[in-house]
Chain A
Amino acid sequence: MTVLEVRDLTVRFGETPAVQGVAFEVARGEVLGVVGESGSGKSVSVLAVLGLLPRQAAVTGSVRLHGRELLGAPEKELTALRGRSLAMVFQDPLAALTPVHRIGDQVAEAILAHQDLPRKQARARAVDLLDLVGIPEPGRRARAFPHEFSGGMRQRVMIAMAVANDPDVIICDEPTTALDVTVQAQILDVLGTARRETGAAVVFVTHDLGVVAGLADRVMVLRAGRVEETAPVDDLFFRPRTAYTRNLLAAVPRIDRRHRRSAPPPGGERVLQVEGLVKRYGRGARAVDRVSFAVRAGETFGLVGESGCGKTTTLMEILALAAPQAGRIVVLGRDTAGLTRRERLELRRDLQVVFQDPMASLDPRMTVHDIVAEPLRAHGLAADRVPELLRLVGLDPGQAARYPQDFSGGQRQRIAIARALALAPRLLVLDEPVSALDVSIRAEVIALLADLKARLGLSYLLVAHDLALVRGIADRVAVMYAGRIVEIGPVEAVFAEPRHPYTRALLAAVPVPDPARERARRRAPLRGEPPGGAAAYPGGCRFRGRCPVYAELAAAPASRCVNEEPELGGADGAACHHPSGGTR
């Protein structure tokens, strides 16, 4: 039974149409995935359904809910439908809750907007809803304010509000994009529960093909405001009709596949060596705690982990080229603790960085020429290499007089890479170099990085949360959790046979763009959330609170996890007392 039917939807902001002729329908209990890259109009389309676009948007076409036309309906009627028949879960849970009202009151408000209940009863119902979406101690937590909740918990609250009035359609706009991968798995689970409880149709907007593969019954692909194709999920993934969909699928890095790569020269010199690095902010817990690893010449070393695990802090400590609070950092054979100002400046030539967001890492007020020339000038060199550098990264030197805003995301990242290469460094630090880019552009930038590495003999230190990307380009990998490295080794060994339970859980949480595999997968998302940077750790294993192995252990082996902090055995290995799973 079709619940929501959209026909010929067109949205214009001024002259330019953001969405043109979009049509779809969803039936009761069905999940429709809406996929597209940035600017494809996917969010605009669903906001138009709710009538929540800004006032200057001109919407035409037809949106029917149970056959009733919503476009052009009086505001009063729409208000009565919103939250009751049509519910919405937004992308950014940090901003979507009013900061000054208690969680329970905000959920109760959603109930009271449509049901004539005494306030007290609405509050009690709100607590039930919080329980339903898996918030521990819902009675107590209902009295908390949004800032006391983590991102995942807030998204659960959003879902609780969405299902409060038993809606017919739940529209989710990138609900897991801002979350860590293990938390994403939990939220997808909760959404599944919500759908079962309400029997609602779900429209799920995302850019992540992996999420869609496991969740959707049908998928609609949008591109530049138009529908590229709509198909049942299996057809779309296994028999895509359009070239665009095929390219999109091909561009997604796959975590479940081996990659062939030329092995780095074995036993190359160590370009970077980190030993027992410690960093704490103020009097808080250590954000980075006794971290050790080495990067060899010609190698790509991946550092992975969820937000707050200390990977970025580690990176900043290395880039500062200063004496660490404890431990040692050796760059190209020079200990950073003993550097004079002049030596540090010299060493910077060999160590450069490419950041995540090319919009943020390029000064919007400088021309491309000035941006790429800046490191040269800082070291008193002539800026005449700039055209050559731009050519090296595949840009036209004729465009050097333009500003970053005139370039696309991928081109901007090329500019940032050209700047990083200006001083001919030997080690390049890549901080999430492609995570701000669309899938199709990612592949290009990754190819460029691989090409440059081969041509210039670079070494990369890659920091990323995207495990598929790391598997695709890294030679060795270290997995961080709560400030510590929990597992380290050659990338194939770690990904094919992870030994630490956290690595296993992390790999299992990554959705794969393959509906058959996603369906076959036994879902057991990791409980809890990654601890933030400021959390204090009691003794023993830091992961045991979330550890599925620890939960199954008998008292005797478990006591080891409580009393003794596991260490990495040697150069490679896992910091776990029961790496084989504990039962054997």
Chain B
Amino acid sequence: MAGFLARRLIGYVVLVAVAASVAYLLAAVALNPRANYAERTPRPPESAVDAQLAAYNLNDKEPLASRFATWAGGALRGDFGRTWNGASVNDDLGRRAGVTLRLVAAGLLLGAVAGIAVGACAAVGQYGWFDRLSTLASFGVLAVPTVVLANVLIIGAVWLNDLTGMKIFLVSGEATPGVDSVLDRLRHLVLPTLTLALGMAAVFSRYQRNMLLDVLGADFVRTARAKGLTRRAAYGRHALRVALIPVATYFAFTFGALLVGTTVTETIFGWYGLGQQLVASIRANDVNTVAAISCLAAVALLVAAVAADVLHAVLDPRVRAT
């Protein structure tokens, strides 16, 4: 067991290393930080630009291999280098990761809880009115791309604010600068959380419904009923408990995938998190930041995969044994 885990972990580490390297090389070849200096007025002399770029390990006149070696050396020590204009990538990422985490945690948690509840109710009353209604609703939500959903929410919020003449919802940023109150933060949080949670709830409700339907007809649920348990007890203690295993695993995995997956929501609502920075750094030809985010994304995904495995083992005694 321990040997198996160790081998798997080594495999993961190798995978992250290769993925990060590929991302760095891609970014280093395709992005051109020099272009940023060319747009400055007055245009700085080439030697100055060279020196500046070289200091940040971004000089395209240096061979790619040596730039990669420098970057990899730093990355191994946990230092992802400098942005194109000299800031520390690490500091920047740390700040932004916090922003993303706050957003994802709220959205995912709300979405998963709502989705699981809706899915379970729908499965128990299969083909009843609630099932049909929730199916229809989740199809509706799933058909609306995040881009559209976020914009529609903003349009609706602005309309509501205008209608009431008050600023109920705030649509830009994490907090109003200079104001530090919980209420203000909440007013900023509602819409982006809703954007994430709605989509999540739709996915989770479909998933939970199908998982539970698979289990409701199982022999062990029939056994529970034959023991004299009520339908509610048999479904709750036996069926739902078993059907939650894959859903919980999926939850852990989604958390990891979302760390850089909320690009659209962050950008539209002006939350300066990792997703937003990903877009910004590509536009800014910021090679080191792009590589660092890729590396972080890969690590997050693999941590989530491990977490999902662990969670699976905790919930399912059959997995624990092997």
B96 at the interface (CB under 8 A from A): no
Interface size class of B (residues with CB under 8 A): 20 to 34
By a CB distance below 8 angstroms, the chain A residues around B219 are: 90, 92, 95-96
By a CB distance below 8 angstroms, the chain A residues around B237 are: 101, 109
B218 at the interface (CB under 8 A from A): yes
A344 at the interface (CB under 8 A from B): no
Q: How far is the CA of A522 from the CA of B317 in the complex (A)?
A: 41
Interface pair A79/B228, CB less than 8 Å apart? yes
Q: How far is the CA of A566 from the CA of B228 in the complex (A)?
A: 52
Interface pair A145/B318, CB less than 8 Å apart? yes
By a CB distance below 8 angstroms, the chain B residues around A50 are: 226
By a CB distance below 8 angstroms, the chain A residues around B228 are: 79-84, 110, 113-114, 165
Nearest A-chain residue to B221, judged by Cβ: A98
A68-93 vs B, Cβ < 8 Å mask (1 yes, 0 no): 00000001000111111001101010
B227 at the interface (CB under 8 A from A): yes
Choose one: B220, B226, B231; the contact of A98 (CB below 8 Å).
Answer: B220
By a CB distance below 8 angstroms, the chain B residues around A113 are: 227-229, 233
**Shortest distance in angstroms between B244's beta carbon and chain A's nearest beta carbon?**
9
**Shortest distance in angstroms between A330's beta carbon and chain B's nearest beta carbon?**
38
Nearest B-chain residue to A82, judged by Cβ: B228
Q: How far is the CA of A388 from the CA of B231 in the complex (A)?
A: 57
Choose one: B217, B223, B229; the contact of A158 (CB below 8 Å).
Answer: B223
Q: Is the interface of B mostly helix, strand, loop or mixed?
A: helix
| Residues B209-238 near A (CB distance < 8 A) | 217-220, 222-231, 233, 237-238
| Residues B230-287 near A (CB distance < 8 A) | 230-231, 233, 237-238, 241-242, 245
By a CB distance below 8 angstroms, the chain B residues around A100 are: 241-242, 245, 315-317
A437 at the interface (CB under 8 A from B): no
By a CB distance below 8 angstroms, the chain B residues around A82 are: 225-228
**Shortest distance in angstroms between B265's beta carbon and chain A's nearest beta carbon?**
36
B69 at the interface (CB under 8 A from A): no
A148 at the interface (CB under 8 A from B): yes
| Residues A108-141 near B (CB distance < 8 A) | 109-110, 113-114
By a CB distance below 8 angstroms, the chain A residues around B220 are: 95-99
**Shortest distance in angstroms between B170's beta carbon and chain A's nearest beta carbon?**
45
Interface pair B229/A99, CB less than 8 Å apart? no
A28-51 vs B, Cβ < 8 Å mask (1 yes, 0 no): 000000000000000000000010
Q: How far is the CA of A82 from the CA of B316 in the complex (A)?
A: 28
Nearest B-chain residue to A145, judged by Cβ: B317
**Shortest distance in angstroms between A274's beta carbon and chain B's nearest beta carbon?**
32
Q: How far is the CA of A54 from the CA of B228 in the complex (A)?
A: 17
Interface pair A99/B318, CB less than 8 Å apart? yes
A161 at the interface (CB under 8 A from B): yes
B321 at the interface (CB under 8 A from A): yes
By a CB distance below 8 angstroms, the chain B residues around A92 are: 219
Q: How far is the CA of A99 from the CA of B243 in the complex (A)?
A: 11
Interface pair B230/A79, CB less than 8 Å apart? yes
Q: How far is the CA of A165 from the CA of B251 in the complex (A)?
A: 41
Interface pair B317/A99, CB less than 8 Å apart? yes
A335-356 vs B, Cβ < 8 Å mask (1 yes, 0 no): 0000000000000000000000
Nearest A-chain residue to B226, judged by Cβ: A88
A448-461 vs B, Cβ < 8 Å mask (1 yes, 0 no): 00000000000000
Interface pair A110/B317, CB less than 8 Å apart? no
A12 at the interface (CB under 8 A from B): no
B291-322 vs A, Cβ < 8 Å mask (1 yes, 0 no): 00000000000000000000000011110010
Q: Which 10 A-B pairs have the closest CB atoms?
A: A83-B228, A95-B219, A145-B317, A88-B226, A83-B227, A113-B228, A110-B227, A98-B220, A82-B228, A96-B219
Known: A98-B241, A113-B233. 17 other contacts (CB 8 A): A52-B222, A79-B228, A79-B230, A96-B222, A96-B223, A97-B223, A98-B220, A98-B224, A98-B242, A100-B241, A100-B316, A101-B241, A109-B224, A109-B229, A113-B228, A145-B318, A165-B228
